[in-house]
Amino acid sequence: MIVYLQPNQLSENTDTYTFQITICDRLKKDDTNEIEVLSDTNLIAKDLITYFKNSPTERDVIINTSVTLNDFSDREDSETAGYFFDITFRQNFDYNYCDIPL
């Protein structure tokens, strides 16, 4: 799993974080396991989204579970295949002066 933090957005009373998550596995030299790798990584991606959605912190953090799973197969460079997706987490941000560590 590879996770990249996308630009953070702060608007009104909301602090929004978006992460691009990649779930991948190695392909065999002859690509005979490509379908299996894509199937397994698809299930892992769905499990991860389900975990976030049912997390106890979901009360404090709003998770956008409308996610597009994008498959890829990179035979030339890294010989991996899998899925990547963006997931967004939102939390309240009230610009409270008392929160500043002065």
pLDDT for the residue 98: 77
pLDDT (tens digit, 9 = 90+) per residue, 8-35? 999 888 999 999 999 999 999 888 999 9
Q: Do the beta carbons of residue 82 and residue 22 sit within 8 Å?
A: yes
| Domain CATH code at residue 10 | 3.30.980
The domain of 26 spans 2-95
Nearest to 30 by CA among 82, 78, 72, 79: 79
The amino acid sitting at 44 is: I
Nearest-angstrom CA–CA distance, 51 and 99: 30
Residue 54 inside a domain? The answer is yes
pLDDT along the chain (102 residues), means of 10: 94 92 94 94 96 80 90 83 95 80 77
Residue 48 inside a domain? The answer is yes
Residue 100 inside a domain? The answer is no
The count of structural domains within the chain is 1
Residue 14 inside a domain? The answer is yes
